[in-house]
């Protein structure tokens, strides 16, 4: 599958338009999370997570509201959402201040999105089919670096070799 090449900066926002954001650098990864927590919070079968550099994520319009909670692993998480329409925009973890996890469905252009991995497949809906070539993990991988390396290899124009 040949994905459409996205153009930076990436832009997106909530359903009602009250929140708008931009991402100045290419995302670090794209994966689905099929855990029951993500199923509940998304109201769908999975969350499509797009980790991006915190320094390159900018809210352009509006003020998201934060919901502070513990993830299933016990990590302190803040989920940021629109106070008007309720759309979840991104999440941040105290343990990972260098990145935020954007909900990829909030991007203006989603045609290029192909997840590199599917996490928590043990709790995935039976009808879910993995993207071609994507890794599948019963839970969460102990180390995201190999997935990030595969992602960078998929998008060499955004991650030139040094």
162 residues of the chain, pLDDT tens digit each: 556 889 999 999 999 999 999 999 999 999 998 887 877 888 888 889 999 999 999 999 999 999 998 876 778 999 999 999 999 999 999 888 999 999 999 999 999 999 999 999 998 888 988 888 899 999 889 999 999 999 999 999 998 876
| Contact call for residues 76 and 70 (beta carbons, < 8 A) | yes
| Contact call for residues 109 and 10 (beta carbons, < 8 A) | yes
| Contact call for residues 49 and 103 (beta carbons, < 8 A) | yes
Exposed, middle or buried, 125 (CB in 10 Å: 0-12/13-18/19+)? exposed
Question: What topology does CATH give the domain 10-61+103-143?
Answer: glutathione-dependent formaldehyde- activating enzyme (gfa) (3.90.1590)
Residue 55: both structure tokens together? 């320094």
């Amino acid at each position: 599958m040949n994905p459409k090449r996205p153009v930076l900066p990436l832009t997106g926002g909530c359903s009602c338009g009250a929140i708008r954001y931009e991402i100045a650098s290419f995302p670090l990864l794209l994966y689905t999370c099929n855990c029951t927590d993500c199923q509940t919070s998304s109201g769908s079968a999975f969350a499509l997570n797009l980790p991006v550099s915190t320094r390159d994520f900018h809210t352009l319009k509006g003020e998201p509201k934060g919901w502070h909670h513990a993830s299933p692993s016990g990590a302190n998480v803040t989920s940021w959402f629109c106070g008007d329409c309720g759309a979840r925009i991104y999440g941040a973890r105290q343990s990972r201040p260098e990145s935020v996890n954007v909900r990829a469905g909030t991007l203006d252009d989603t045609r290029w999105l192909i997840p590199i991995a599917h996490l928590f497949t043990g709790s995935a809906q039976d009808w879910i089919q993995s993207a071609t070539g994507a890794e599948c993990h019963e839970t969460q991988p102990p180390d995201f670096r190999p997935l990030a390396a595969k992602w960078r290899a998929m998008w060499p124009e955004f991650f030139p070799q040094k």
